[in-house]
């Protein structure tokens, strides 16, 4: 296991310590820095969280992921994106709607990127201890920003990513043009978001072992 995993496990014990006495909800643990409630069956959850398609994400403490989750396993979807786009050390990445900044931490740790962890609902002061605990305080910069009023210079980012968040702010057809101005020419823009799999789509995927969502990403990565 990596140092990060040891670190995350220690954090989990701290959560336990902090919560055992006074932060129980429905008999389950609510963490101090985490946002979620512990899984009903932690052992089964840990087993399910290790996924062969996402070897990097599977190295992280699943309890840390669960306790800070805001939707689907964001390390899985972040890793899925990195399987179809190239990220390099030192790149400036905007993580738009980062929530609890798990994806920002992941991109900084795994690819040595500098990540601006930008969110509306989760305050930077909530994300900062998590970022420090994960050992990436020199590379992940938590910020509060509304996605339609971003405080960045035009052309600043080498990549803009968004995981399970774009549908909250990007549904206007003009939004992509707006956010693109913060990316340099030739930059990558990667969005992984919720989608409904229709019956037709499901039928098509029967003969195609790749998930619709990864196929969409491949299409995206081929776009000019």
Q: Which residue is nearest to ligand SAM (CB)?
A: 99
Q: Which is nearer to ligand SAM, 93 or 203 (CB)?
A: 93
Q: Report the SS3 class of residue 132.
A: helix
Tokens 């971003």, located at residue: 150
| Cβ atoms of 36 and 61 closer than 8 Å | no
Q: Which is nearer to ligand SAM, 10 or 123 (CB)?
A: 123
Measured CA to CA, the distance from residue 78 to residue 80 in angstroms comes to: 5
Q: Which is nearer to ligand SAM, 64 or 163 (CB)?
A: 163
Question: What is the Cα Rg of the chain in Å?
Answer: 18
Measured CA to CA, the distance from residue 80 to residue 158 in angstroms comes to: 19
Q: Which residues form the interface with ligand SAM (CB under 6 A)?
A: 70-71, 74, 97-99, 102-103, 119-122, 146-147, 163-165, 168-169
Residue 168 C-beta: closest distance to ligand SAM, Å? 3
Residue 76 C-beta: closest distance to ligand SAM, Å? 10
Q: Which is nearer to ligand SAM, 145 or 220 (CB)?
A: 145
CB atoms within 10 A of CB 130: 24
Q: How many residues does the chain have?
A: 224
Residue 11 C-beta: closest distance to ligand SAM, Å? 17
Q: Which is nearer to ligand SAM, 119 or 158 (CB)?
A: 119
| Cβ atoms of 66 and 45 closer than 8 Å | yes
Q: Which is nearer to ligand SAM, 4 or 74 (CB)?
A: 74
Measured CA to CA, the distance from residue 223 to residue 62 in angstroms comes to: 34
| Cβ atoms of 135 and 109 closer than 8 Å | yes
| Cβ atoms of 147 and 96 closer than 8 Å | yes
Inter-helix orientation angle 124-133/3-22, to 10°: 130
């Amino acid at each position: 296991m990596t140092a990060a995993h040891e670190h995350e496990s220690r954090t989990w014990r701290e959560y336990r310590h902090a919560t055992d006495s006074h932060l129980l909800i429905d008999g389950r643990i609510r963490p101090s820095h985490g946002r979620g409630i512990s899984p009903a069956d932690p052992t089964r959850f840990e087993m399910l969280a290790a996924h062969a398609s996402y070897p990097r994400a599977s190295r992280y403490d699943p309890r840390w992921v669960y306790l800070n989750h805001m939707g689907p396993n964001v390390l899985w979807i972040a890793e899925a994106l990195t399987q179809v786009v190239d990220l390099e050390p030192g790149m400036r990445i905007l993580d738009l709607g980062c929530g609890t900044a798990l994806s920002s931490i992941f991109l900084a740790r795994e690819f040595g990127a500098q990540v601006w962890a930008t969110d509306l609902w989760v305050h930077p002061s909530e994300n900062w201890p998590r970022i420090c605990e994960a050992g990436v305080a020199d590379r992940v910069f938590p910020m509060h920003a509304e996605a339609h009023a971003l405080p960045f210079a035009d052309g600043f980012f080498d990549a803009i990513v968004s995981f399970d968040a774009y549908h909250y702010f990007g549904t206007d057809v003009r939004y992509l043009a707006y956010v693109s101005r913060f990316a340099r020419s030739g930059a990558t823009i990667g969005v992984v978001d919720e989608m409904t799999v229709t019956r037709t789509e499901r039928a098509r995927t029967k003969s195609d072992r790749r998930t619709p969502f990864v196929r969409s990403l491949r299409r995206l990565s081929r776009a000019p």
